[in-house]
Amino acid sequence: MRVLAAMSGGVDSAVAAALAVEAGHDVVGVHMALSRNRDQFRTGSRGCCSIEDAGDARRAADVLGIPYYVWDLSERFEETVVADFLSEYEAGRTPNPCVRCNEHIKFEALLDKATALGFDAVATGHYAQIVTREVPVASGASDASVAEDGGPTSGMRLVRELHRSPNDAKDQSYVLAVAGPERLARAMFPLGGFASKDEVRAEAAKRGLSVSAKPDSYDICFVADGDTRGFLQSRLGSRPGSVVDTSGDVVGEHDGAYAFTVGQRRGLALGRPAADGRARYVVDVQPATNTVVVGPAELLSVDRIAGEKALWFDDVLPSVVEADGWFDAEVQVRAHGAPVPARVRSIAQVSDAYGDEERPPSGNGETDGSGPAMEIELTGTPLRGVAPGQSVVVYRGTRVLGQATVSRAWRAPASNI
């Protein structure tokens, strides 16, 4: 196959490209320039897309003997990922820019451009696995999946399942779920079977790749200094407002409600302690009044979630749904959070989800609530600090079943906390 290898300049993408070459594919390397103001060097493990990173990617491509190009996707990145990041925080929600980058850049802009140029697939250094299996062809069903080693047998179709990586510390299935089955049908994750980062570094060293000891990048790539609040203020400006407790009493001031997220404890700068001396957390962000509400930890626990813009993987629902529309699964609301048991169902829109006056929403951000959605009932320990805007991914074992963006979360009864 003709494969476009996305090369960030790090060790993961370099080894992924190497493995694609060694598998016999016709590979071309491409580095995505995502920043409009790239530095010559990045700061330790912070940031990415520097000129240094582009040079590291080029040297890796030279060692592998493959063509190499730099594609300027900075305008698309700014208009989608960065713009979404700003607008979501401004609306009192908590976005995950890595999810949006995978959705709009790596598995939309990059993949679409690769397809237009005649490539069969895009290879990346993500830690996740794609498992291909055959299932019976349902009446009227179409096959959007393509296997690397041939087509399905008669009366069957190929389904590509997204699964967790065996490397729990690096697993990226959570941020990949938003790509959906059709786009993942044209993706390759050569690192999917690696159980540790040390194994990947050893593979890089064995092949003479100079990035074998390069530190991992972390935090938000376009906030290289790690100061998210400072970045938001530089783009959105100062908007002074009040921090209030759950009784409505003013207990502090802030420079912009957009800089706070549900579950936050640090950086509140409260003028006076709670009457009972207990720690207080952000329990709601109200952009309409530019108000941040703080309260005790128990107000962060939720046991029901509604997610908008739901996306399901292929034949998942028909195979798992019970007669009442619900099915058992596990859900995860943070990239490296622990999955928790739940019952899940598909609903037409968020407004169909359960709610009552006894259990008000927790951190209810602004949302249109339209389009396909999902409702989640946690059947074990409540989750803490679930914020609108977060991605919620549904699993069964290691397999990804679906994904949505958190729209509302209902507080758990005190007896369940």
Count CB atoms within 10 A of the CB of residue 22: 12
Measure the N-to-C terminal CA separation of the chain; round to a whole number of Å.
Answer: 53
**CA 104 to CA 383: how far, in whole Å?**
28
CB 6 within 8 A of CB 13: yes
Amino acid code (one letter) for 304 = R
- The residues facing 54 across adjacent strands are none
Dihedral, CA of residue 267, residue 272, residue 275 and residue 276, to nearest 10: 40
Strand ranges inside 109-155, DSSP E: 121-123, 129-136
The answer to whether residue 221 is catalytic is yes
Q: Quick check: 329 and 394 in contact, CB under 8 A?
A: yes
Within its chain, how far is the Cα of 10 from the centroid? 19
Q: Which of 48, 49, 98, 101 is catalytic?
A: 101
C-alpha span between 357 and 366 (Å, rounded): 19
Give the distance between the most distant pair of CA atoms in the chain. Answer: 72
Residue 49 annotated in active site: no
CA atoms of 163 and 248, how far apart (whole Å): 46
Active site residues: 101, 221
